[in-house]
Structure formats: structure tokens, C-alpha cells
Structure 1
Amino acid sequence: MKLCIVTHNVVKGNGQGRVNYEVVWEAIRRGYHVTLVASEVASSLQQHSQVRWICVPVKGWPTEILRNMIFSWRSANWLRQHRSEFDLVKANGAITTVPTDVNAVHFVHSSWLKFSSMGTMPKSAKNILNPRSVVYDFYQWLYTVMNARWEKSAFQQAQVVVAVSDKVGKDLLEIGVPPERLQVIVNGVDLQEFSPGVSDRQKWNLPQDVPLALFAGDIRIPRKNLDTVLHALVKVPNLHLAVAGITEGSPYLQMAASLGLNERVHFLGLCRDVPELMRAVDFLVFPSRYDPFGLVVIEAMACGLPVITAVTTGAAELVQPEAGIVLSDPNDTEALIQALSSLTSDRTLRSQMGKAARTIAEQHSWQLMAKSYVDLFEELVKSI
């Protein structure tokens, strides 16, 4: 089989890039040749005899909208000339205007647009929707609106649309993807990199001998929902919180200070050693308002951590009651207070949930996920 994958990057450093990275290696193991139409490719793949990299440069363009548009235009031009060379073409979302056989969906912009415009977010979030400027907010809205429009067209043209969670699958059905063309392949986790253990908190200047939760994600925007976590933390006085995420441009440092939480909330900035950090904390709290999957959830589970999340996070479907707590409403501060208090006060419960979480994560390795993708490719090629 000659496979073509169109994507911005094929690297281990982010969710979509990691999925493509693992799929490429599984295709290589089965003896297939893979052409990557991408801006960035992992060095381990660049020199492989079964891999050809068609570089689509987008650096230098000032905004992500422009970079995406340039990538789509350049990749489409190349694909129109070379489409006949491949048995199957896989893309991710609205990345190119050329019809593809498989489109793997990691985010449904129309669903986030609908959620964010419903007026369901609390005042604590609305007050920080404009952390950097009115222009920036308008740009984010425009980016979402344009992607929502482009995505619908891309999904309509694909033979099979793959959702990374049941939540994404439901979102896709809502925007008109026929159920017979929809499949769900859940994202995976590196079970060796993310594994149970103990790490010294002193590396991050975190307090010893106190219950410590972790929040990890983009803390420059309200979507990840750190504001509700901070307000709930006020009512759980024995709990400390480590926050991993870029602090520049974030309104949450000021919010934590205004809530009197400076002594208990520890902003760590961007962390490169997340697995080690996870082994230094007691549980994860991640009640994201909208997350198609949320790799941090399954990564924490693989590290043997109980998790608190919300139904609005795709990975919540993996969190059984014995492994964590799933909130029915990410904005329900009282419910979050109860969940935080429960895990803070009960070390035995945390241990039991952590073991169950690891067992669940072991069923979702990257290798198993990649096999599901390549199995799908083989079935499609046979049917053509």
C-alpha cells in the first residue's frame, strides 16, 4: 500500500502529531511506503527508506489563520498533481481542500463555537475572555468560524471520518456526518514514558507532605477552565495546586492572587518533563469546558493518578467511577469542591483509584491505536 498523510506535523510533541507519528511507524512495520505532506517531520522518520517527506513551509506568516490557508493551498496543489500515485490519502480536519479517503478529527470547531456562544459559561470565565485585547478575541472568534466552515466541507468529501473520542463522534453527527461513514479510534498513551512512580517535589519547589493536585493545559484561554478550579480551591483549604502551562498572557496568576491563593497555587510555566511532574503529585484536576480528547487525562491515568474531569472532555469516557470523578457540568463549582475534598482527605481512595486508572490506561497504548488506523486503511483499500 502506498499511503499519503497530509498534516501540519508528524512529531511526538503534540496530540495530533503523535497520532500521525505512531500511524507512520505502524505502516512501516507492515512494509508500506508513506509520503508525508507536512511542515515538520520527526528526524527519526526523515531518513527512513520507506518515508518520503514533501515539505510544506509556512514559517514567516504572522498568524495561524494565514499559515493554515497557505498550507491548505500548497498541499492541495501538490496533491492534485500526485493523487494518482497513492492507494489512500489521510488528512486531519480542514488541512487541505483536496478530497481525502480518511479524515481524522481532533477538534470540531463548530461545536466549540456553539458551546462558547450559548451563554453557559459563568461570570468568572466571561470576565477573562478578553485577556489580551479585543483584537485578539476577534481573531480567535474568526479563526473558529472559518475552521468550522472549512471542516464541514472536508468531512463531507472524506470516505471515512475518524473521531478521536465518542464525544467528537457525537459532535460530528450533529454537523451532518453520516453515521455509516463515522468511526471512533481513541487516542493512545506512551505506557513507558507515563508510568507510576515517585518524584521529588523539590525539583519544582513544590511543598512536601501536603495534598497536591495538578492542572496542566493552556492557561491563557478560558476553555481549559482553570477559573472554576481556582474558585473551588478556596473552599478546600488543605489542598495545594501545581499549574503547568505558559504563564505569559495568562489572567490566572492575578485571579489566584485576588482569591488569596498565592501560598497554595504554584505556577510552573511550560513544563517539558510532564511525566516526572505527574509522579510528584497526588491527582489530576482537569474539568475542561471543551476538549475533544484531552491527552493529559489518559497520561495522568497511565501514571497511576486518579483524575477529576468533566463530561465535556472526550477522555472522560475512559474514566470509570473506580478511577476518578467525572463532573456532569464543568462549571459546577460546588460539585468540584466535593470532588476535590474527597480526594484530598482520603489517601486510600487516591491509591485505589490510581491503580484502577493505570489498568484502564494499559488498554490504550499508542501501538494499539496505530494498528486500528492501519487496519482501517487496509479495509478501505480492499474495498476500492
Structure 2
Amino acid sequence: MLRSSQAESELAAEDMATARNLRVAIISDAAPERNGVGAYYRDLADHLRARGAHVALVAPRYRAGRWHGGLRLPLPGDPTQRILIPSWSLVEKRLKRLRPNVIVVPTPGPYGLLGMHLAGRLGIHLVVGFHTHFEALTNLFQDWGVRAHIANAYLRGCHRLLFSRSQVVLANSIEMVEVARSIGAKRVSLMATPIPKRFLDRALSPTRPRIERILFAGRLAPEKNLAAVVEAARRLPDLEFIVAGDGPLREWLEQETRDLPNLTLVGWVKRTQILRLIDSVDALVLPSRVESFGTIALEAMARARPVLVSEACGILSWDILSGGIFTIRADENLADALLRLRQLDAASLQNKTEMAREAAGIINQRNLRHWLALLAGDHASTVDGQQ
């Protein structure tokens, strides 16, 4: 049941009072423009600042085709990404200006480990975000051979160290909560995903009576199961498929587009342009083999677009969200699921997308309050009513 407007106003006032006392440093290896984790913390920082919190987002930056923020090293398996070694002194200077009372670390790389060390050195709370089961991703890179085992051991060791030093670990699905516990996290809480304010505030664009334009947006990597998108484009020539993103499979996908006139690769899309891209299509698909949550799916729900995801997507573990999502069943492929979706009448589609948009707004508000409580020291806080 939705709260009354008076109750919502009172809660908003409580949020503002809590936020004004917060000084939060988010120290992340994920550049805000380059992946879902980077986007998550930029959106979270914006929401926290809007409530009055003081927030510093310390992370690499990717601008005009160049990386900034430290010594650049290649990321094995993905030539489009980099690992950056941060300047210790520069990070310390930013923290001295902020004087944080909590540090948030969402990644197990050099930035994240420095954030962990500084939290211990300053004697302040450390909150760890567990968004990606990197160890599972390395298992998809069979051609790495022994390097995959080394990467797996390194990432598991880093996560174990981060979890042991943290006051609380936040995971974005029930499955990820269990993975975190198996690695050694003692106190784990479920977190949802923030949505940029404009996705909920901007008027919805009209939809066509039939599903004709399909969008996939994300990293072009093995875990995303892009072969399913290519197969669907080949089987359904009357549908237009748009792929947005960059990653190690870009060259392969470019080859596939040459033979499929209904498959278009638009490359990397800036975060500020994602809303317009979602509004231009009739449905979003996410056929991933490994997907801890699926932020782009939640954003499409906020824009009242039908969302079709695989059973591997963590977003389905949220009861309030799963009711607004179409699922690719275990006994069908993406093309079959799209055919099933196209057979639905307009009223059924509209009902589903309206449910999805409302759920996205509700979870966005609950997630922000959850974060505010955790950052203020309430480590027993949960996202109200999600499971």
C-alpha cells in the first residue's frame, strides 16, 4: 500500500535531517561513464547530495577517449577498459577536505583497496558494495587458461579482505547475498539500485501499438550472451535490433552487423543520452548468462518500456520488480520470447509497463532511505518490504 502524501513528506524531512549530518567518500575503481557500477554510484551521489549530504566520488574518469586518475594498466580480456593506480596523496587530500564519517568501496581494485586502508587508518566506518561476482565472470573466459584461475584467486582474496574490514556489505540480489556470505561477509544487507531523477520526472514518450524496435544496452562481453541477440535478429528480420555499448566482443559484433541489415551497433552511449535511446525503442532485452542485477532493465522500467530478461538476471529476485518484467523461459530462446511478447494485446502490455514504472519509483525511494540509514550507522537496516 502506498503511503499518504503527509507521511511521505514527513519521511522526506527525516531523510534531509539524516543526510545533512553525512560526509561520505565513495572510492571506486569504476569510472562513472563506463559501466553499471560507475553509474550506480554517480546516481547515488546525486541523490544523497540532493538530500543535503556532503559526498566525494573518488574514481577514475574517462573523457574524450582518454583515461584520467592515475597510472593506467590494461585490463586482461577487455581492451576497452583500464585498471588505474590512484595517487595516494591526491586521494588523501580529498578526504582531508571532506573529513568523511564513512567510506564506501564498491570495487576490489586499487582504488577500492586504498579506500579500505584509509577507512582503517582514519578509524571510520567502511561500507562495501558487492555488485559483480567477478569470480563467476572469469569462468566464462575459457581461453585465459591459468590466467583465469589467477584472476579468480586474486578477486576472491580481495573480496575476502574487504569484507573482513567492513562494518556491512551490501549486495544487489539474494544470490549475491549468499555469495558474499560464502566468501566471508559477516553482516550483509540487500541493496536496490538508484534511478536518475530525470528518468522518473520526465514525461513519458508515446509508444507504438506494436513492438518493432528492440534495444540491448551494456558491455559487449561474453556474460551478456550477445549471440542470442544476433540469433534473434537473424530469425526475426521484421524487427529492428539496436545494440549500444562497447567491450571485447565489439569486433565480432561489427562483423555480424554486416550480414544483418536489421542489426545496428551504435557503440558506447553517454549516460546523458541513455534516456533518449530507451524512449526511442519499444522494448529492452537482457539475455545475460551472468547478471548480478541489471540496472539498464530498471531504467527501462522507469520509462514504461517492456523489459525482457533471462532467468540469470538478479533483478528478478526483487518481488516488487519481478511483477513488471517479462522473462525468457528456460525452454525458449530470445527470439521465441520476443514472438511471445509480440502476441500480447496492447492493454496487457500497458498494464505491465505501468506496474513496472510504479515499482521502479517505489524501490528508488526505499533504496535511498536504506542507504541513508546505513551510512548513518544503522547497519541492521533493510530495504523495506522487498523480500
Regarding TM over 0.5, the answer is yes
Structure 1 residue 235: deviation in Å?
3.2
Question: For the residues of structure 1 that align with 2:170 and 2:349, how far apart are their CA atoms?
Answer: 34
Alignment of 1:33-182 (within 5 A): 33-34=54-55, 37-39=58-60, 58-64=69-75, 68=83, 70-71=85-86, 74=88, 78=92, 86-94=100-108, 95-96=112-113, 98=117, 99=120, 101-114=126-139, 116=140, 143=151, 145-178=153-186, 181-182=187-188
Q: Deviations over 1:149-185 (max 9, x none)?
A: 212211122120011233321321232323xx00011
Partner of 2:26: 5
SS at match of 1:183: strand
Partner of 2:216: 215
| Partner amino acid, structure 2, of 1:360 | A
Q: Is the 8 A contact 1:113 1:145 kept in 2?
A: no
Alignment of 1:219-368 (within 5 A): 219=220, 221-246=221-246, 249-257=250-258, 262-272=260-270, 273-318=273-318, 322-327=323-328, 329=330, 334-348=332-346, 349-365=348-364, 368=366
Question: For the residues of structure 1 that align with 2:44 and 2:27, how far apart are their CA atoms?
Answer: 12
Change (3 A) 1:270 1:373: same
| Partner amino acid, structure 1, of 2:136 | S
| Partner amino acid, structure 2, of 1:264 | N
Question: For the residues of structure 1 that align with 2:31 and 2:264, how far apart are their CA atoms?
Answer: 33
SS at match of 1:276: helix
Change (3 A) 1:144 1:74: farther
Aligned-pair RMSD on alpha carbons? 4.1
Question: For the residues of structure 2 that align with 1:176 and 1:256, how far apart are their CA atoms?
Answer: 44
Q: Does 1:20 align with 2:28?
A: no
Q: Is the 8 A contact 1:282 1:350 kept in 2?
A: no
Aligned length: 333
Q: Is the 8 A contact 2:215 2:284 kept in 1?
A: yes
Q: Is the 8 A contact 1:298 1:361 kept in 2?
A: yes
SS at match of 1:96: helix
Change (3 A) 1:238 1:149: same
Question: For the residues of structure 2 that align with 1:176 and 1:274, how far apart are their CA atoms?
Answer: 36
Change (3 A) 1:190 1:289: same
What's the TM-score, normalizing by structure 2?
A: 0.70
SS at match of 1:93: coil
Aligned identity (percent) is 21
Change (3 A) 1:11 1:381: same
Q: Deviations over 1:226-282 (max 9, x none)?
A: 10222234333432211112388431232355xx5x122122222332211211211
Stretches of structure 2 lacking an aligned partner (at least 5 in a row): 1-21, 382-387
Change (3 A) 1:239 1:250: same
Question: For the residues of structure 2 that align with 1:10 and 1:230, how far apart are their CA atoms?
Answer: 28
What's the TM-score, normalizing by structure 1?
A: 0.71
Change (3 A) 1:64 1:76: farther
Question: For the residues of structure 1 that align with 2:153 and 2:291, how far apart are their CA atoms?
Answer: 17
- Give the 4+ runs in structure 1 shifted more than 6 A: 137-141
Question: For the residues of structure 2 that align with 1:150 and 1:286, how far apart are their CA atoms?
Answer: 29
Q: Deviations over 1:316-373 (max 9, x none)?
A: 33485653322355xx6x34332110123335143332222212212133x5433321
Q: Deviations over 1:1-54 (max 9, x none)?
A: 554332246857754344434544555566655555444599xxxxxxxxxxxx
| Partner amino acid, structure 2, of 1:174 | S
Change (3 A) 1:69 1:145: farther
Change (3 A) 1:312 1:107: same
Change (3 A) 1:33 1:280: closer
